[in-house]
Amino acid sequence: MYCQSLAENRAAIELDTRIRTKFRGCGSRRTVSKPYMTPQPHKHHGAEKVFRGWVPQANADMNITPMIDVLLVLLVIFMAALPLSQKGLDVDLPPQTQPQNTPPPRLDQIVLEYTAQRKLSVNHQDVELPQLEAKLRTIFEERRDKTMFIMADGTLRYGDIVGVIDAARGAGVQRVGIVTERMRRGTSIAP
């Protein structure tokens, strides 16, 4: 039986005091149960099952969340401290000068020119593409330095120049250099 209100609880206390006073004079030693202390079923408010706690078990999975937090904090600290640690000097560099004494081109270099009209010449001697490999073979068979430079027009396709390089490799040329427009003009690479 549940004590639903404060009035019922007071009534139970008064009943208990009457029972005690009634048996006080008898000298009886028997115990009298108190109506408000009797074990009563616990009333659950909305829960049908009683949930019990469980003992945590050992887990082999690594929790990397704290490690990521620490790494992010370190990243922010280093990003904030990096601009403070940089030191620099103001330097006035002299303007770039062109070399006054450029050495004259070596006469023993082999230079192949390829024009926009698809005309080939080796050291200013005209040659046709089918005879190019034979001509280069006769030039390079007695030379120790097997280097050739190609000066091609900028409008030519790369495939055309690859055909010339293949013919030079077939003739025994070991190194092929490409001379660009900027190199011909003699301008510097830096803007």
φ, ψ dihedrals at 131, nearest 5°: -90, 0
Which is it for the CA torsion 106, 107, 108, 111, positive or negative? positive
Q: Sheet holding 110-114: strands in order across?
A: 125-127, 120-122, 110-114, 147-152, 175-179
In angstroms, rounded to a whole number, what is the distance separating the alpha carbons of residues 138 and 147?
14
φ, ψ dihedrals at 13, nearest 5°: -70, -40
SS3 content of the chain, % helix, strand, coil (to 5): 40, 10, 50
In angstroms, rounded to a whole number, what is the distance separating the alpha carbons of residues 112 and 114?
7
Tokens of 136: 């280069």
In angstroms, rounded to a whole number, what is the distance separating the alpha carbons of residues 117 and 105?
26
Q: Considering only CA atoms, which of 118, 148, 153, 117 is closest in space to residue 135?
A: 148
Q: Considering only CA atoms, which of 171, 180, 128 is closest in space to residue 146?
A: 171
Residues 37-81: pLDDT tens digits? 555 565 656 666 666 777 888 888 888 899 999 999 999 999 998
Residues 157-170: pLDDT tens digits? 888 888 888 988 88
pLDDT exceeds 70 at position 188: no
For CATH 3.30.420.270, the residue range(s) in the chain are 110-185
The SS3 call for residue 163 is: helix
% of the chain with per-residue pLDDT over 90: 10
Say which CATH architecture domain 110-185 belongs to: 2-Layer Sandwich (3.30)
Average pLDDT value over all residues in the chain: 76
CB atoms within 10 A of CB 146: 17
More confident call, 139 vs 13: 139
Question: Which of 41-55, 116-130, 148-162, 170-184 is least confident?
Answer: 41-55
Residues 4-41: pLDDT tens digits? 566 676 777 777 676 666 555 555 455 545 555 555 56
Q: Considering only CA atoms, which of 158, 164, 105, 154 is closest in space to residue 129?
A: 164
Task: Report pLDDT for 74.
Answer: 95
